[in-house]
Structure 1
Amino acid sequence: MEQSCLRSANYYNYLKQSSCLRIDGVDDAKRFSSLLGALDIVQISGENQMELFSMLAVVLWLGNISFSVIDNENHVEVDSNEGLANAAKLLGCSVPQLVIALSTRKIQAGKENIVQRLTLTQAIDARDALAKSIYAHLFDWIVEQINHSLGTGRQRTRRSISILDIYGFESFNKNGFEQFCINYANERLQQHFNRHLFKLEQEEYLDDGIDWVSVEFVDNTDCLSLFEKKPLGLLSLLDEESTFPKATDLSFANKLKQHLSGNPGFKGEQDGAFKICHYAGEVSYDTTGFLEKNRDPLHTESIQLLFSCKSDLPKDFASVMIAYSQNKSSLSCHLLVDSQKQSVVNKFKAQLFKLMQQLENTSPHFIRCIQPNNKQRPRQFEHDLVLHQLKCCGVFEVVRISRAGYPTRMTHQQFAERYGFLLSHSVASQNPLSISVAVLQQFSIPPEMYQVGYTKLFLRTGQVAALENAKNRMLHGALRIQRNFRGLHTRREYYTLKKGATALQSFVRGEKARFRFDYLFKRWRAAVLIQKYTRRRLAATMFTDQLKNIVVLQSVMRGCLARKKFKCLQEEKESKVINSKVRRDVRNNISQVRLCHVSSRSPYLYILSVINLAR
């Protein structure tokens, strides 16, 4: 906000005119914070938000630009003040450029361009026109950004739900050009309301040949003709008078009296005032400012100023102003003048007709807002004011036609297709009309509660409810039968699928088991083979080790036995040697004994003694 050089609200001429700068119970800072949050939600970037607030600041600073009269012809020059400097800075243009745009006008005379200074009134109108143009295009830009964010373009969607919030009918003590345009728009929208709720409905009844007593309503066709008739309608006469340089508001009022005095909807008054009989009542208008406001003095210089700005938004606004020209980049005066030939009421009328075309292609629903009192207080109703609004808006007629009318209507074909299956018996004729009448008779709907037209069947309020209830019961029963049948069918399919799945699973599991068995058997055989060779290897190794040990043991034992045997043999040898020596000694002894005792003993004893010795 510092970039916008803003000050307090009472500093700006556009804001302090109402003398109401604060509202009790409204926190401006909190609501501004909510506004920033809303702009973020609709995806308006921070840079675009700053441009938005800068343009709003431009509007405020333009209102503070003042002018000084410099000659007797009331020509002016722009005062050099803070408003001028800040407006030029925020627009992105130089101060001299802004001064030229607000205080001069180029007039083409042949091949020459003459620069003419503006009078005080013209300069103020030019300044205000530039401010209003920037503000209006800024509003359109915001709407465009929101629509782009929401993606409501025709390329993205074919259907939409739109809300049209219109200004209400206005009638003040002093009504000017603004109230004139607003009430004209309300007349057109009221005709759309009448057309959909009265004319089209009753025309449909009559076209289809049913008995119907027309409901009278306030038809504002004459009032719209007073506005739009060419060449002697209010709008045409206003445009014609606006083209004359020397025309005044009083001359415009006199022209209206001259051409429209015979119209019952128009009444001329004194001091440039006139009355129009609207659908909501008579409204008196003061013609002061009509011509100037209708001309919308946004001159070529102002558009060129916007094109020359460094900021993007003013350039976009200027491009929109000449959007109908094929070469948007050209700044020729001819194109710019052509783009400005259309008056305010013509632009307003064109936009209103475009809106009406869009409304005609929709299925409208209307919400009437009634003002309870003129004091803007809650829970307080002024009986006469509310009654007057209900009468003017046609609410009573809407209630009357709704009570007497037939809100439910279907073609015979649609009715037969929707409710024909409710018949408990067959009908001889199978055409939709016979089926429809048979259905109504079966459900004992009184004849006064419906009418049969050429192509459609018309029913009063509440009669379709009985048919819908019967249809819902029938459909509910059918749904229960379908549910049970589908359940049975589904269970059978389930069991069949389950059986097939079980068989498939068993086959697959068998195949998997067999495959696994073969795999395990092969692994077992391989393991057995490995074990066999391993065991044989281990056994061979153990046998070799044991054989070595046995051989060692045997060698040890054999060595031990051999040594024992050798020792025994050695001992035996020694004993033999000893025995041989003993024997020799014995033999010698025996020989000696024999010699000694031969004589004294017998031979038998001698032999025994020899044996004993031998032993």
Structure 2
Amino acid sequence: MRVGSDNIVQKLTLSQAVETRDALAKSIYAGLFEWLVEQINKSLAVGKRLTGRSISILDIYGFESFDRNSFEQFCINYANERLQQHFNRHLFKLEQEEYIQDGIDWAKVDFDDNQDCLHLFEKKPLGLLSLLNEESTFPNGTDYTFANKLKQHLNSNPCFKGEREKAFTVSHFAGEVTYDTTGFLEKNRDLLHLDSIQLLSSCSCHLPKAFASNMLNQSEKPVVGPLHKAGGADSQKLSVATKFKGQLFQLMQRLESTTPHFIRCIKPNNFQSPGSYEQGLVLQQLRCCGVLEVVRISRSGYPTRMPHQKFAKRYGFLLLENAASQDSLSVSVAILHQFNILPEMYQVGYTKLFFRTGQIGILEDTRNRTLHGILRVQSCFRGHQARRHFKELHRGIATLQSFVRGDKTRKEYAVLLQRHRAAVIIQKQIKGMNAKKTFKNIRDASIVIQSVRKIQKWPRLPDAMVRSI
């Protein structure tokens, strides 16, 4: 135990040692759980860093009511009570407030509000959590004295009812739940001694050391709240209920900053058997979760809504007359009249149009058909333009090719003509040379023959022979 700046060693009884062991086990489990969540969030943070957006999923079991309900069911049902109010606020209050603020003729749908039950838990100084923390600080406080204190201060609350011995009943949104206060104070204190943290620090494994370091770091933070029991570690100055409430409020702040979507899971039977449907059980769950009121609001309300500017921009081109100079509200009303939408199927608000289920589908189908026809006309016109441009391009290419081919043919013909002329000249020269050579040979032969005749003085040959020669 730490008393001031001194440490005092005290022997524990068997029950105290068991409680200390259990507290150490729960601390290790809590540290491991937080470590796993941190690792998972790090691996999933890549997409958020790239897009700046994220999706958070809260999966929690509904209200619990067993034959014996203890501190665990007390915390779980408190959390469900707070989440149920968040559900009611978004699906009942905000939904109907939007109708009223926009000037819609609307008959308000009543629903059960659980604010009184939340006051029972959270009211200071006389609330369940405050009285639990107060009794946990008393060294001589017991579960029995805690139960008597609740009956003394809270019997006037309509959501609270004291029971015999150490029990009390709370009227939750889902129904009445009876709690047995046995073990409430000890579980709320959840005392972890400093030597347990030192034990974790001395481990050779990395994770227990990290858990011990986190506990010591928490002990250096300033204390928020009065709950502190001598002998506990500094990190245990806050009770479990106080920590749970703080974490729950952080969760609610996170939920309020997001766009919520609710999925209600209904258990069909208590035997976990497929194909078995218990109508009474399902109806009870629908009533407890407020689903019946949500269905009633959806059926009588206007689930589809759209601002005037967006509606006019989306469907304004469907008007038969030009409405470019009109304001968005006039355009919206003209569209509704043109398509003969019944007045009871919509309402015109100050800033939005409100439609009943299925009404916007008529406009959307017409818009899609019109856009499809426009796209068909545009595709035909663009095809015509493309084909005309192609023909013009084809004629230009053919003309250019004819000029190029003509110029190329003329050049080839000029080269061929030049070669032909050169060949003719060469042939002429060769033929002339051959003719001259033949003539020279005949002439030389004639001269030789004539010269031989003169020398040998041959008789004169007849003229016919001379001509033949």
TM-score by length of 1: 0.61
Amino acid at match of 1:216: D
Q: 1:423 to 1:293 in 2, by over 3 A?
A: same
Aligned counterparts of 1:292 and 1:510: Cα–Cα separation in 2: 108
Post-superposition shift, 1:270?
A: 1.3
For residues 61-90 of structure 1, give each alpha carbon's deviation from its aligned partner in whole angstroms, at most 9, with x where no partner exists: xxxxxxxxxxxxxxxxxxxxxxxxxxxxxx
Shift of 1:194: 0.7
Deviation, 1:156, is 3.9
1:147: how far off? 2.7
Partner of residue 250 from structure 1, selected from 133, 138, 144: 144
C-alpha contact (below 8 Å) 2:154/2:160 kept by paired residues? yes
Residue of structure 2 in register with 1:466 after alignment: 362
> Which residue is 1:121 aligned to?
15
Alignment CA distance shift 1:438-1:157 (3 Å): same
CA contact (8 A) 2:219 2:233 kept: no
For 1:189, the equivalent position in structure 2 comes to 83
Which of 36, 46, 50 is the equivalent residue of 1:142? Answer: 36
Tell me if 1:399 matches 2:295. yes
Partner of 1:107: 2
2:350 aligned to 437, 440, 454, which one? Answer: 454
Distance of 1:279 and 1:406 partners within structure 2: 27
CA contact (8 A) 2:47 2:54 kept: no
Which of these residues, 152, 163, 173, is aligned with residue 279 of structure 1?
Answer: 173
Aligned residue in 1 for 2:101:
207
| Alignment match, 1:377 | 273
- 2:111 aligned with 1:217, yes or no? yes
Q: Residues 434, 117 of structure 1: CA spacing in aligned structure 2 closer, same or farther, 3 A cutoff?
A: same
Equivalent residue number for residue 368 of structure 1: 264
Kindly indicate whether the alpha-carbon contact (under 8 Å) linking 1:249 and 1:287 is maintained by their aligned counterparts in 2.
yes
Q: 1:441 and 1:111, CA in 2 relative to 1: closer, same or farther beyond 3 A?
A: closer
**Residue 400 (structure 1) shift:** 0.6
* Residues 297 and 483 of structure 1, relative CA distance in 2, 3 Å threshold: same
Q: Structure 1 421/326 Cα, relative in aligned 2: closer, same or farther at 3 Å?
A: farther
CA contact (8 A) 1:107 1:116 kept: no
Tell me, yes or no, if the aligned pair for 1:406 and 1:458 is still in contact at 8 Å: yes
Q: Distance in 1 between matches of 2:291 and 2:385?
A: 57
Q: Deviations over 1:26-54 (max 9, x none)?
A: xxxxxxxxxxxxxxxxxxxxxxxxxxxxx
RMSD: 3.0
Instruction: Return the letter of the residue paired with 1:438.
Output: A
Deviation at 1:502, TM superposition (A): 7.5
Tell me how far 1:323 sits from its aligned partner.
4.5
* Number of the residue aligned with 2:440: none
State how 1:12-161 maps to structure 2 within 5 Å. 106-108=1-3, 110-152=4-46, 154-161=48-55
Question: Whole-Å Cα distance in 2 between the matches of residues 420 and 132 of structure 1?
Answer: 63
> Residue 5 of structure 1 aligns with which residue?
none
Report how many residues are paired: 405
Name the CA distance, whole Å, in 1 between partners of 2:366 and 2:98: 29
Alignment of 1:596-615 (within 5 A): none
CA contact (8 A) 2:159 2:170 kept: yes
1:176 corresponds to: 70
Please show how residues 254-333 of structure 1 align to structure 2 within 5 Å: 254-324=148-218
1:489 Cα offset (Å)? 3.6
> Cα deviations across residues 505-548 of structure 1 (Å, max 9, x unaligned)?
9999999x99xx9xxxxxxxxxxxxxxxxxxxxxxxxxxxxxxx
Tell me the amino acid that sits aligned with residue 327 of structure 2: N
Q: Any gaps of 5 or more consecutive residues in structure 1?
A: 1-105, 328-333, 518-615
Residue 304 of structure 1 and its aligned partner are, at CA, apart by 2.2
Q: Displacement of 1:152 after TM fit?
A: 4.9
> CA offsets per residue over residues 451-499 of structure 1, 9 Å max, x none?
0111111000000000000100111111112222333344455556667
Alignment correspondent of 1:235: 129
Kindly provide the amino acid, as one letter, of the partner of residue 187 in structure 2: K
Q: Deviations over 1:83-111 (max 9, x none)?
A: xxxxxxxxxxxxxxxxxxxxxxx232x44
Q: Judging changes above 3 Å, is the alpha-carbon distance between structure 1 residues 248 and 453 closer, same or farther for their aligned structure 2 residues?
A: same
* 2:318 counterpart residue number: 422
Q: CA deviation at 1:443?
A: 0.5
Taking structure 1 as reference, are residues 444 and 149 closer, same or farther at Cα in structure 2, changes over 3 Å only? same
1: CA distance, partners of 2:73 / 2:88: 22
Deviation at 1:226, TM superposition (A): 0.9
Report the secondary structure of 2:384's partner residue: helix
> In structure 1, how many angstroms separate the alpha carbons of the residues matched to 2:402 and 2:255?
69
Give 1:165 shift. Answer: 1.4
Secondary structure class of the residue paired with 2:378 = helix
**Secondary structure of 1:353's partner?**
helix
State whether residues 147 and 153 of structure 1, in contact with CA within 8 Å, keep that contact through their aligned partners in structure 2: no
Post-superposition Cα deviations, 1:421-472, rounded to whole Å, max 9, x if no partner, equal 1111134961111110110011100000000111111000000000000100
The separation in 1 between residues aligned to 2:102 and 2:66, in whole angstroms, is 45
| Alignment gaps of 5+ in structure 2 | 222-229, 413-469
Matched position secondary structure for 1:285? strand
Query: Do the aligned partners of 1:371 and 1:386 also contact (CA within 8 Å) in 2?
Result: yes
Structure showing greater radius of gyration is 1
Residues 71 and 183 of structure 2 are in contact (CA less than 8 Å); yes or no, is this contact kept in structure 1?
A: yes
Offset at residue 154 of structure 1 (A): 4.4
Identical amino acids, percent of aligned pairs:
69
SS in 2 for 1:284: strand
1:301-337 per-position Cα deviation (integer Å, ceiling 9, x unaligned): 222222232211112222333455679xxxxxx9x94
Q: Residue 64 of structure 2 contacts residue 76 of structure 2 at CA under 8 Å; is this kept in 1?
A: yes
Structure-2 change in CA distance of 1:208 and 1:322 (3 Å) = farther
Q: Using CA pairs under 8 Å that are at least 6 residues apart, name the structure with larger relative contact order, 1 or 2.
A: 2
Alpha-carbon distance between aligned partners in 1 of 2:50 and 2:195, rounded to the nearest angstrom: 39
Distance 1:506 1:255, change over 3 A: farther
Evaluate the alpha carbon distance shift between residue 499 and residue 226 of structure 1 in structure 2; reply closer, same or farther with a 3 A threshold. Answer: farther
Residue identity in the other structure for 1:161: I
1:434 aligns with 2:336: no
CA–CA separation in structure 1 for the residues paired with 2:406 and 2:199: 91
What is the match of residue 226 of structure 2? none
Q: Measure how far apart 1:143 and its partner are.
A: 2.6
Cα contact 2:192–2:233 (8 A) shared by 1? no
Q: Partners in 2 of 1:326 and 1:242 — Cα distance?
A: 23
- Cross-structure match for 2:241: 345
**Pair 352,505 (structure 1): closer, same or farther in 2 beyond 3 Å:** farther
Q: Quick one: which amino acid aligns to residue 292 of structure 2?
A: F
Matched, 1:387 2:310: no
Q: Quick one: distance in 2 between partners of 1:509 and 1:292?
A: 105
8 A Cα contact 2:48 2:54, kept in partner = no
Shift of 1:209: 0.8
Matched with 1:541 is: none
Structure 2 counterpart of 1:311, which letter? Answer: C
Maintained 8 Å contact 2:316/2:323: no
Per-residue deviation, 1:275: 0.3
* Cα offsets for 1:382-426 (capped at 9, x unmatched): 332222211111111111111001001111111111111111113
